[in-house]
Amino acid sequence: MIELENVSYTYGGGALLSDVSLRLQSGSFHFLTGPSGAGKTTLLKLCYGALLPTSGRLSAFEQDIAGLDRDQMALLRRRIGVVHQDCRFLDHMSLAENVALPLMVSGRGEAAQQEDLSELLNWVGLGDRKDALPPELSGGERQRAALARAVILSPDVVLADEPTGNVDWEMSQRLLRLLVELNKMGKTVLIATHDLSLIRAAKSQVQARVLRISQRQVQLAGADL
């Protein structure tokens, strides 16, 4: 699905990631961990083409990302759902309208929009909050809405950047179960997190590979996690 071959990324004159080789295979589940500032968000941005590597090769769905034009990149990004760390929404639009934005941008029909949207909001437990405005949502509701928005186009890959960073343990477990369900549907999932307890809790639910960024490189984490 997504492959990095000897990828490096330099920012501000210094190497943030160096000589990273990684393959996210179809239907796989990965955690990405490491200290703050290690480059977790940068690696996710590379995976969906928001950043391009300073050196090395980055490909997604057998296409070299560096060679894609603007329209090709837009089509590729529809196959990659991203749950951003900051959960940005348009405050003047309802929860349902915010979640449906990717459908509207992609030109999906109105009937398909409503059917997909209602089903998805019920799946994340927000069916009764569809008319709420973003400022009225709790932290857990915002995170679930962000996940719904990321998967509304049924992407092949889901990338989540610290999706449980601002919620309590119970809600983090609920979000984890939703991500595990997506994986069981065949989606490739990569979660960047510093929460080792979340990773341990996932072991009984899914076969996950745990990666750690250390000294600018991505390494397979030990069995102690």
At 192-203, the pLDDT tens digits run 998 889 999 898
How sure is the predictor about 113, in pLDDT bands with cuts at 50, 70 and 90? low
At 83 the three-state DSSP class reads strand
Residue 223: pLDDT band by 50, 70, 90 thresholds?
A: very low
d(CA 32, CA 52): 19
Q: What angle do CA 82, 86, 90 make, to 5 degrees?
A: 90
User: Once rounded to an integer, what is the mean pLDDT over residues 87-108?
Assistant: 87
Start-end of H helices in the chain: 40-47, 70-77, 95-106, 110-123, 139-151, 169-184, 196-202
Angle at 23 between CA 20 and CA 28, to 5 degrees: 135
- How far is CA 212 from each of CA 2, 191, 192, 195, rounded to the nearest angstrom? 18, 12, 10, 12
pLDDT average, residue stretch 88-115: 81
Helix axes 110-123, 139-151, angle to 10 degrees: 140
Sign (positive or negative) of CA dihedral 47, 52, 53, 56: positive
pLDDT at 225 exceeding the cut of 60: no
Residue pLDDT, tens place only, 44-94? 999 999 999 999 999 999 999 988 998 999 889 899 999 998 888 999 999
The helix/strand/coil state of 133 is coil
Q: Identify which has the larger pLDDT, 189 or 222.
A: 189
d(CA 189, CA 177): 12
What band does 165 get if pLDDT is binned at 50, 70 and 90? confident
What's the pLDDT tens digit per position in 170-190? 888 989 999 999 999 999 999
pLDDT surpassing 70 at residue 145: yes
Q: What pLDDT was estimated at residue 224? A: 45
- 1-79+156-225 is a CATH 3.40.710.10 domain: no
Q: Where are the domains of the chain?
A: 1-79+156-225, 89-154
User: Is residue 37 predicted with pLDDT exceeding 90?
Assistant: no
Question: Of all residues in the chain, what percent carry a pLDDT higher than 90?
Answer: 62
pLDDT category at 111 given cuts 50, 70, 90 is low
pLDDT at site 219: 87
Q: Give mean pLDDT, residues 95-113.
A: 77
- Whether 126 has a pLDDT exceeding 70, the answer reads yes
